[in-house]
Structure 1
Amino acid sequence: MWYGSPTDTWCRPKPDAVMPLSSLALFAAVYAVAVATPGPGVIALVARVLARGPGGMPAFILGFLVGDLVWFSIAATGFAVLAQSFAALFIALRYLGAAYLLYLAWRAWTAPVEPMSVEPLSVESARGGGRLRLFVGGLALTLGNPKVVLFFLALLPTVVDLEHLGALGMAEIAAIIVTVLGTTLGAYALAAARARRLFVSTRARRAVNRGSGAVMAGAAFAVAAR
């Protein structure tokens, strides 16, 4: 719906208008490419599944989802400038995310090699504390991830007219974020879980664990150095 006289050169949409399907499709496509491009979050997810199994991944992915929604809310509500006042906080979150990656790397490197029928992390992930640690780790990693910050504060305004984005439009984009990010990360986790089953020998499992630990440690240093 539009307001203004038919002769107006510029007629702006009402703040509560439904976003055009073409605009939603464009955002979904750009966001999907950004999410699917391997970054620290994807690397951490895949490496952890390879090393420790898929247990607890819903909580880990939920942390990424909440982090992306937080940055989207900051961009959509015009608080991007205010967020710059808390730059020190986000730097601290970046280092916290890097520290969590190092923790996961150490756990993967030192994990005992169990028979394939046993998932060492399943018991841990069944506990509230294990799920909470995974959620907080994913959230901190996302809030301090320069790739996510760049997308929502720099790239998003070129794709979506944030100045005239109403509550309904925000809800539509938030739904796309949840669907695209959840589906993409879930697919990565599923692929990693299937690949993990190819390594059945003790020697191969130990090599996967240590390789995953090394990858996560490298990602941690990359996050901290940005």
Structure 2
Amino acid sequence: MSLDESLILFATLGLLAALPSTSVVLVVTRSATAGLRHGLAVVLGIVLGDLLFVAIALLGLTVLADALGGLFLLVKLLGGLYLVWLGGTMLFSRSTRRRASANGGSASGLLGSVVAGLLLTVGDLKAILFYASLFPLFVDLEALGIADLLLIILITALSVGGVKLGYAVAASKVTGLVRSARLGRAAHRGAGLLLLGAGGYLITSAPS
């Protein structure tokens, strides 16, 4: 890959990652309500899911992915149900953001955020087709070398992860400015509604 091709791929993936989506909702709400560490954990899960799709697309395993469509559907439903549960918990919980941050800062709590980001990303089987159609524009898959593979992985991680990281930091900064307990509760419940909507969308958009 040339420098120009690398920059164009980086910009393309970054712009797409910046578009409003369920992954953006999850990053923002987790960062705003449970703290920046959880937002970063979700970003890690999202990047891991994208890198899995990148590997499948680059190695020409789209046929295998299509054969395992039922598994991806199950993952998508599990991700949707998790978001619904998480949103409902936030919506009806009386705990403050500070308490949620304190209790959710454990390794297990952060792992849950990573898994949430991973499930949300892996549940979108169409992403494999997107990557499989995008990469041939930048690299000859028949002559794919280790250097090209590592470069694409690096570009994907930096572009997607960088954009989502920006959302996480921005959400935590904005929430940090909310000093009023009433506003804090309103923001907490508003985030719960967003997660409920995102989870419901994932579940209802799953093919029957």
Instruction: With the length of structure 2 as denominator, give the TM-score of the two structures.
Output: 0.89
Which protein has the bigger helix share? 2
Q: In the superposition, relative to structure 1, how do residues 155 and 225 fare at CA in structure 2: closer, same or farther (>3 Å)?
A: farther
Q: 2-side partners of 1:170 and 1:122: how far apart? A: 40
Deviates more, 1:182-191 or 1:70-79: 182-191
Question: Is 2:4 aligned against 1:25?
Answer: no
| 1:215 lines up with 2:197 in the alignment | no
Conserved? CA contact 2:29–2:195, under 8 Å? yes
Is 2:89 aligned against 1:107?
Answer: yes
User: Aligned AA for 1:143?
Assistant: V
Q: Are residue 39 (structure 1) and residue 35 (structure 2) matched? A: no
Q: Partners in 2 of 1:143 and 1:65 — Cα distance? A: 10
Closer, same or farther in 2 for the Cα pair 1:46/1:131, shift >3 Å?
Answer: same
**1:36 corresponds to which letter in structure 2?**
A
User: Cα deviations across residues 119-150 of structure 1 (Å, max 9, x unaligned)?
Assistant: 5224422x221122111111111101256345
Matched, 1:124 2:65: no
Query: Amino acid of the residue matched to residue 204 of structure 2?
Result: A
How many residue pairs match? The answer is: 205
* Separation (CA, whole Å) in 2 of partners of 1:137 and 1:211: 19
TM-score, L = length of structure 1:
0.83
Q: Is the 8 Å Cα contact of residues 23 and 121 (structure 2) preserved in structure 1? A: yes
Distance across 1 between alignment mates of 2:187 and 2:143: 49
Q: 1:203 aligns with which of 137, 157, 182?
A: 182
Selected match of 1:178 from 157, 160, 166 = 157
Name the structure 2 match of 1:63.
45
Opposite residue 62 of structure 1, the aligned amino acid is L
Q: Deviations over 1:49-93 (max 9, x none)?
A: 223332333322111111000000000000011110000000011
Q: Does structure 1 conserve the Cα–Cα contact (< 8 Å) formed by 2:81 and 2:199?
A: yes
Matched, 1:139 2:121: no
Which of 43, 46, 52 is 2:34 aligned to? 52
Compared CA separation, residues 122 and 220, structure 1 to 2 (3 A) = same
C-alpha distance in 2, partners of 1:55/1:120?
12
Structure 1 residues 119 and 194: alpha-carbon distance in aligned structure 2, compared to 1, 3 A threshold: farther
Instruction: Check whether the contact 2:57–2:129 (CA below 8 A) recurs between aligned residues.
Output: no
Tell me the residue number matched to 1:15.
none
Task: Give distance in 2, aligned partners of 1:75 and 1:40.
Answer: 22
> Cα gap change, 1:53/1:110 in structure 2, threshold over 3 Å: closer, same or farther?
farther
Distance in 1 between residues matched to 2:45 and 2:154, nearest whole Å: 16
Compute the RMSD of aligned alpha carbons.
1.9
Residue 22 of structure 2 aligns with an amino acid whose one-letter code is P
Q: Given residue 194 of structure 1, which amino acid in structure 2 is its aligned partner?
A: K
- Higher Rg: 1
Runs of 5+ in structure 1 lacking a partner?
1-18
State whether residues 43 and 216 of structure 1, in contact with CA within 8 Å, keep that contact through their aligned partners in structure 2.
Answer: yes
The percentage of counterpart residues that share the same residue type is 31
